[in-house]
Amino acid sequence: MKLINAEVIENRLVLPGHRHAHLRGILGSWLMWLKCPDIAREARPGQFVMVRCGGETTLPRPFSIHQVDEERIALFYAVREGGRGTGWLAEQKASDSVAVFGPLGNGFSIDPTTRNLLLVAGGTGIAPLYFLARHATRNNHKVTLLYGTVDKNRYPVSPEIEVVAVTEDGSVGEKGFVTDLLPHFSEHADQVFACGPMPMLRDMFNRRSELKLEGKPVQISLEVRMGCGVGVCYGCTVKTKSGLKQVCRDGPVFELNDILWDELGV
């Protein structure tokens, strides 16, 4: 783990904002490239970094590592209405400096015998799964990415990755939720990996038999609020079948069936 003042190489808006029922509106989504060789060298798919955002924020914010390219890492993040930390981050320009700590947490684990990977991304859940998809593809795994968004505005995924599109309004690909397509793909997957809104992950657990996930190894990346990122504050504690776990230190990747979803207070 390293604390680095990383130079901003690029920080640009890649997706416009939108409103979603029952949630704060999203002002837009940004892609930020940071020069931090030590973190880039150690980063693994599923890990994250803590970023100290300026402005009126006091605690650092967790961000999934979205891509790694030699000496650089990329963060893909959405700025919601009233989001002071991400709002500040979106204002940073090339050559500015951002304090970054990481890489942190336990990432995804691909079994050596696995051939077919199924990735399930809901919205900004594409952030850690994109890193995993590119890593797995380059290591000769067959990757299928189910990518669900609200509308046609979606992250431009590399053509080397097989993508199945789902939109809630039907403007691109299938109409509905990304979990609706799981029964058509999960049966042929050796492992399943997912990241997205908590209701999506909870739905995968509650309907695991219907979605043909029963008995299937399913790893999920939990997106929760964190205070420190290193297991000191216990602010991201969740209940699992093996006791209390901290998302920052024991996760953010867990087995779907290990989480006690009925006791998860989010």
- Domains of the chain, residue spans: 2-104, 116-263
Span of 17-26, 57-66, 147-156 with lowest mean pLDDT: 17-26
More confident residue, 248 or 264: 248
Give mean pLDDT, residues 251-260.
Answer: 96
Selection from 133, 106, 131 nearest residue 117 by Cα: 133
Using pLDDT thresholds of 50, 70 and 90, give the confidence band for residue 57: low
Using pLDDT thresholds of 50, 70 and 90, give the confidence band for residue 21: low
How high is the pLDDT of residue 178?
96
Which residue has 């992950």 as its token pair? Answer: 201
Alpha-carbon torsion (18, 19, 20, 24), positive or negative: positive
On the question of pLDDT at 37 being above 90, the answer is yes
As given in the structure block, the two tokens for residue 90 are: 């979106």
How high is the pLDDT of residue 263?
83
Residue 229 host element (H or E): none
Give mean pLDDT, residues 229-244.
Answer: 90
Using pLDDT thresholds of 50, 70 and 90, give the confidence band for residue 1: confident
Give mean pLDDT, residues 32-52.
Answer: 97
Alpha-carbon torsion (9, 14, 19, 20), positive or negative: negative
Q: What percent of the chain is modeled with pLDDT above 90?
A: 80
On the question of pLDDT at 7 being above 60, the answer is yes
What CATH number does domain 116-263 carry, 2.40.30.270, 3.60.21.10, 3.40.50.80, 2.40.50.140? 3.40.50.80
Using pLDDT thresholds of 50, 70 and 90, give the confidence band for residue 229: confident
Distance CA 103, CA 68 (A): 12
What CATH number does domain 2-104 carry, 3.20.20.70, 3.20.20.100, 3.40.50.720, 2.40.30.10? 2.40.30.10
Give mean pLDDT, residues 29-40.
Answer: 97
More confident residue, 131 or 57: 131
Using pLDDT thresholds of 50, 70 and 90, give the confidence band for residue 266: low
